[in-house]
Amino acid sequence: MKTTHHFNADTMRLRFHELAAERKRIEEQDVLPLREQLDQVVAKIHVLEAELKPIDKIYREKRQQLVPIDREMGIISRALSGRTAIE
């Protein structure tokens, strides 16, 4: 990339178009193929999320049943100073 320029309207226009061509080349060769790969992966993620949501909902509902049990076990454990083993 050039670092020294003669700044007049004609050279600035030429530089503008050089940069535009370089940008287009980089975008077409390097950026767009990766964008397509990203889009494909994101599409797969959306499919998996749709599959996951109903399972996660049921899991959370079932897991919620454990909360009162865990709470009561904690109360009993504290009352027994952690000595919960049956002798």
Q: How far apart are the first and last CA of the chain?
A: 81
Helix (H, G, I), strand (E, B) or coil at 38: helix
Sign of the alpha-carbon torsion through 17, 23, 29, 35: negative
Full pLDDT tens readout for the chain, 87 residues: 556 666 788 888 999 999 999 999 999 999 999 999 999 999 999 999 999 999 999 999 999 999 999 999 999 999 999 999 998
Vertex 48: Cα angle to 46 and 51 (nearest 5): 110
Are 29 and 39 in contact, with CB atoms under 8 Å apart?
no
